[in-house]
Structure 1
Amino acid sequence: MSSSSLAPSPNSLDILDSQIDPKYRDAYSIKLHQYHLENPNCWEFSIVPGMFKQSDPDTDESKFNYLDEHFGKIGSWDAIVERLNQLNSESCQDEQYKILFLFRHYAGYHNLAHLKYGDDAWNNYWSKINGDDEMTWGPDANLTMESIETARKNSKLIAQELSNNNASNKSLIMPNRLYVSPLSRAIDTLYYTWDPILDLKKVQPKIQENWRETMGIHTCDKRSTRSIINQRFTGKGFEIESSLTEEDELYQDDYRETVDEQAMRMNSALQELFSECGKDESIIGITSHSGSIRTQLMVLGHRSFAVQTGGMVPVFVKALRRGNIEKL
């Protein structure tokens, strides 16, 4: 498998964006404790080790390309899926196991601008406006044309990997459900990646507010109206959650969401996912953003792991309702 059309590894900004200051981890722990007190039967997440290289602390994230590494699987897909099915069949009603494919969108114009101006200038000035004399990145930054072509090329590689190279198991590890951020670059990434592989009008990928990037100040992270999203994507098979408002009521020009606040948002999204999807829906694709994946990994109990644009982290998750934990 060749992945020449994907960035060979995360760049310095990707690695920087994946890191979480201990103060935010502590703040999240405090918020999560309070959430547990108020929701005693919520899901608690952990990682099943030994399934994917990305969860191994010895794996070098700075040199990792999921396409070259066969998604990072340890052993065969047959063995991984057999283990997944076995754990689900042997578990109680309040215990679930899932493989989550956490995809990051391909490069948008905001990513090019971030690289062009550097982290400090981007955060202090350029991220707060809609563009420069060369490109526009706000609101709701789009994928570059090159990224769209890359997504189309890599879709073929993903299909080849997921087919397990076994004619009798063509659907062995295809996702049962797909979820996506409402930002255009994420929805387009999902579309160009999965439309050649799956019947999206049958799968109906769900557009949900909670998967979106860190909110506020950066104009690239302000989403389009519901009407625009509906016009662009529902005809392609996407379903928009009923609670998504016409205007972006969550974005603020003068306040940027903190990491612990975003982590609580990701926890809410994952709580809903595990409550909505039964054990028979055990392989899920989520397409979002670097900041979103950073906090998803923290919520799930996974090590920090940098993901390049267009990259992916597979996570083998155990979810157990806290009410059940207390009985053990």
Structure 2
Amino acid sequence: MSLLIPNSNDYHDAHGDLDQDELYRQNIRSNYLFQPVSGLFKQTDLETDDMSFRYTDDNFGIKISYKDIIKNLKELNDNAPENVQYKLLFLARHGQSFANVVARKYTKEEWFAKWRYIGFDGEFTYGPDADLTDLGIRQALENNRAWKRQLELGCPFPKSFYLSPLQRSIKTFNITWGEDSLKRIENKEDTINISPNLNPQVIEPLRETIGIHLCHKRSKKSELCSKFPYLQFSEEFPEEDLLFEEYNDVREKLYQQFMRIHTVLENIFENDKNDVISITSHAGTIRAFLTVINHRKFTIPTGGMIPVIVRAEKVDKS
């Protein structure tokens, strides 16, 4: 039985606050237009029930063979105008963290009045930079096994890997893509071996909605480098969490997060020539990606993943 089962919080993260979608559309200024390519994955179809769909039991939702998906992606890029690109994105959400547990332990009113501001409730430590629970680890292991099965069936191996700087996303990536993850976890080993060929890049704006919730404050860069020495950071990546401080008093709005992720996607299409990309982040971040590319709303369970082929058109608005 899958451990990647959405709950009511996940549904709200994906479907709620629709006024923020409209605010995003009113405020975005961009030379890129994004849209999903339909007919290749069940998750893009309106008739797919996002609350009951289990991608690890359904070959990631493919509607045609992986061989044909790879062929279609190549043909789309080969035949595209100069200002159009296509990429296959695997958008992964981190496994359950202690912040997820505490947020459901209390009522919404209690969480917003008190517990989001602190990182320990007497039972769980959940901030700053909340860690994975045992269930979160097992959810990542389910993805590890699922990826191994799908790769055997011909699923394209991602050529670029991007990560949120929050350690729950980094650890989910480690286990999902680590060598012998299950064996090392069973032996209670702290280190997961990551192939240097993966070259995972930490992107500061890939994080969850910023501000106030202490669990969303990241660790220092030096701490992340010490724990995860294989990670790649840009030269301008700051030591301290400046974004959290920026939104310390007034939390980032969802439409602002959508605009932030729009810029991330622009940069990926502008600077990354690879056509198959893995991105490990958060529920709000994936909601933002799906909003930016005009994909249907789709609930992503804690630890879940959604694949989508994205068409990006660069337009001249001068």
TM-score (norm 1): 0.88
- CA distance in 1 between counterparts of 2:99 and 2:73 reads 38
Gaps of at least 5 residues in structure 2 are 181-192
Shift of 1:233: 1.2
Helix, strand or coil at the partner of 1:204: coil
- CA distance in 1 between counterparts of 2:102 and 2:18 reads 28
- CA distance in 2 between counterparts of 1:124 and 1:274 reads 40
8 Å contact kept, 1:155–1:196: no
- CA distance in 2 between counterparts of 1:56 and 1:79 reads 18
Corresponding position of 1:125:
114
8 Å contact kept, 1:178–1:204: yes
Q: How many residues are matched?
A: 304
Q: Deviations over 1:245-280 (max 9, x none)?
A: 1110111332111011000100110011111111xx
Q: Residues 218-297 of structure 1: matches in 2 within 5 Å?
A: 218-234=213-229, 237-251=230-244, 252-278=247-273, 281-297=274-290
- CA distance in 2 between counterparts of 1:221 and 1:179 reads 18
Corresponding position of 2:209:
214
Corresponding position of 1:137:
126
Q: Residues 1-328 of structure 1: matches in 2 within 5 Å?
A: 4-7=1-4, 9-32=5-28, 35-36=29-30, 42-164=31-153, 172-196=155-179, 200-234=195-229, 237-251=230-244, 252-278=247-273, 281-323=274-316
- CA distance in 1 between counterparts of 2:292 and 2:260 reads 10
- CA distance in 1 between counterparts of 2:79 and 2:223 reads 45
8 Å contact kept, 1:65–1:311: no
Amino acid across the alignment from 1:226: K
RMSD, matched Cα: 1.8
Amino acid across the alignment from 1:318: R
Helix, strand or coil at the partner of 1:240: coil
Amino acid across the alignment from 1:54: Q
- CA distance in 2 between counterparts of 1:226 and 1:12 reads 34
- CA distance in 2 between counterparts of 1:283 and 1:94 reads 19
8 Å contact kept, 2:95–2:135: no
Corresponding position of 2:190:
none
Shift of 1:116: 1.2
Q: Deviations over 1:144-203 (max 9, x none)?
A: 133224423430221111221xxxx5xx50001000100000011011101229963122
- CA distance in 2 between counterparts of 1:22 and 1:150 reads 29
Amino acid across the alignment from 1:68: D
8 Å contact kept, 2:211–2:248: yes
8 Å contact kept, 2:179–2:195: no
Shift of 1:54: 1.0
Amino acid across the alignment from 1:121: E
Helix, strand or coil at the partner of 2:91: strand
Helix, strand or coil at the partner of 2:219: coil
190-199 or 288-297, which moves further after superposition? 190-199
Amino acid across the alignment from 2:35: S
- CA distance in 1 between counterparts of 2:305 and 2:173 reads 12
Shift of 1:118: 3.4
8 Å contact kept, 1:175–1:283: yes
Shift of 1:69: 1.7
8 Å contact kept, 1:52–1:72: yes
Amino acid across the alignment from 1:211: L
Amino acid across the alignment from 1:51: L
TM-score (norm 2): 0.91
